[in-house]
Structure 1
Amino acid sequence: MKYQQTRFRPRFFAAATAIMLSATSCGLLKEPDPGTSPAGTAEAARLLAQLPSLEETEAAVNTVLLQMAAIGTELSPGLSWVSKTAPYRIGCDKPFDNTNGEKTIMSMHSSPPMPDDDWPAFRVKSQEIAESYGKIEVIYGDEGKGRDKVNFRSDDGAGFNISNQGETVISAGTPCRLPEHVGKDQVTYTPIVPTTATTAPQPTTTTGGGW
């Protein structure tokens, strides 16, 4: 078997070295972010210990999700809701990133999507339902025929999203909270891979919203 010989090119090597040094000096090669400091983490953990558990918050957020699905079906009886994935949990953002806090993500889908004529009313009703959870900020996505997206962001960190892009999707995420099984004095977050929520019902196909 013959191997192709490669000639060493000093100029190429020097240029490549220069590029790597330039990238390093420009900050492209950085050390991993260590996250919130131990003192900041301890303070964040104390705050989480004073808040409702993740399971309690999941129930409240899930109620909003189901109410949005119900009003969607009321406006467009042809919708058929299904949870494609079970609710799952992820770690929290700063300053809770090094605590045992978690957030739960959940969603419901309907295909075919809501008719465009029904979307404005659904958007208004969904906002009213989101406001029943708490004070919210309304963030609009790109709007146009079949391309509507709206995010209702609560001041406690919860988020509710509705979209109508090929299918109608209602999704929600809880704010960072401590699961019930976690001791209030524990401050480190260990899991890297999202874990499946154990308290939320498994996905089922429904016609009026539900897990």
Structure 2
Amino acid sequence: AGANSGELTTPTAAAILSTLAEGIGPMPALSLGGVGYGAGSREGGAVPNLLRVFVGESDDIGEADVVVELSANLDDCTGEILGATMDQLHTAGCLDVWATPIYMKKSRPAWMISALAAEVDAARVEEILFQQTTTFGLRRRSVTRSKLARSYKTVETPYGPIRIKIGCRGDAVLTASPEFADCRNAAETHHVPIREVMDAANLIWRSETSI
């Protein structure tokens, strides 16, 4: 629409991009190997009919993606409704959901409910927030999320197998922790505190990896 109305790519180019591209976001840090330029034959329009392609190797040893953050301020929402809404947002596939105590106008105590979601899930998140809460408006912004590379290793404990969630940056292991659901299930089965299962899993993980 507007100044950029009309066909801006060919069906072939659209098919190539939809197949090869993993997403849309800022260009990552990279060691540039080459730059290619191309110009189309069609003239006119507000946007030059040009294409520029960068080829290189990533300099970033971590991982990053672009997600959507949505939030709303609620000063007339009960704790029951807030909790139920957060559960529904988790079920809808949100990457994270949280509530922050705040003060609004006239010094009224309130909650700010926030959710992180992939772009494809953002519309559903908006629908849930409008349907389940009393808000009249939402804030929405795109944010870049830096992540550790994640993997899992299973260790055998006296309480059964427990998965260890491992976070790496490059070749370095920066963090590792027992999967809570595994520890909770094992604790319930063996009638011991969850902390005892977690301590056992951590001890075995460290002994096997020398960390």
TM surpasses 0.5: no
Please state which band the TM-score falls in when normalised by the shorter chain.
Answer: under 0.3
Q: Which has the higher contact order (CA 8 A, sep 6+)?
A: 1
Please report the TM-score for the alignment, with normalisation by the length of structure 2: 0.26
Please report the TM-score for the alignment, with normalisation by the length of structure 1: 0.26
Comparing both structures, which one devotes a greater share of its residues to strand?
A: 2
